[in-house]
Amino acid sequence: YIYDCAEQGRSRGIRSVMISNGYINAQPMRELISVLSAVKIDLKAFSERFYKELVVGELRPVLDTLILLKKENIWTEIVYLLIPGQNDHPDELRKLSIWIRNELGSDTPLHFTRFQPQYRLTNLPATPVRTLITARQIGLDAGLKYVYTGNVPGDPGENTTCPHCHSIIIRRIGFNVIENKLAENKCANCGTIIPGIWK
């Protein structure tokens, strides 16, 4: 039904974005790619241990999906929920950021989001804001251009900043855009092209 809905939408000029955990075989993903405009992948961790113990799955198929999306030129953004003591070690985040830069490109957006205790993990605390800020800096230091913090309304890491002149292009609070200084697909201040799907 995802394919059918996206195909009907595309025939009417409506774009479709899929949100997925990325755990899908290559052939069905290729079929979906033909009708999608963008994909958001929820990457649970950058360790096989986490995937085996908490997700009861494997990391490799998710990474393969990300590589396939890149190869097929589908706009992809990655969301990584930082869970205290589970997937937030700086070394893991550094390896993740370097892998994204090398395999998917430095323009790939990476969103580090704040965990809130619920469901089976009510025994864990919420992610400290400092952890999100540190994770974002690790991503930027690794060479990623668009690293965000999420679930912390008002944090500067919610904003899109030009990687060339460092001016704020899109200012956000939560899911609300407060200011947009994007001129077509460029920074209005210096003219740097900002990759993404803007129309």
Same domain, 49 and 140: yes
Same domain, 127 and 61: yes
Please give the pLDDT value at position 153: 92
Query: For the chain, how many structural domains are there in total?
Result: 2
Same domain, 104 and 180: no
DSSP secondary structure letter of residue 142: T
Same domain, 112 and 194: no
Please give the pLDDT value at position 199: 77
Domain end (from 125, 140, 156): 156
Strands 110-114 vs 17-20: parallel, antiparallel or unpaired: unpaired
Please give the Cα distance from 104 to 161 (Å, whole number).
20
Contacts of 86 (CB under 8 A, 6+ apart): 45, 50, 54, 124
Count of Cβ atoms closer than 10 Å to residue 15 Cβ: 13
CATH number at residue 138: 3.20.20.70
Same domain, 150 and 165: no
Please give the Cα distance from 35 to 141 (Å, whole number).
35
Same domain, 95 and 129: yes
Q: Is 20 exposed, middle or buried (0-12, 13-18, 19+ CB in 10 A)?
A: middle
Please give the Cα distance from 93 to 78 (Å, whole number).
13
Same domain, 145 and 169: no
Same domain, 125 and 39: yes
Divide the 199 residues of the chain into consecutive groups of 10 and give the mean pLDDT of each group.
91 94 94 95 97 94 98 98 98 99 99 94 95 98 98 95 97 94 95 93
Residue corresponding to tokens 């899911």: 175
Same domain, 125 and 190: no
Please give the Cα distance from 158 to 66 (Å, whole number).
23
Would you call 116 helix, strand, or coil by DSSP?
coil
Strands 147-150 vs 75-82: parallel, antiparallel or unpaired: unpaired
Same domain, 111 and 144: yes
Terminal-residue alpha carbon distance, the chain: 25
Domain that holds residue 17: 2-156
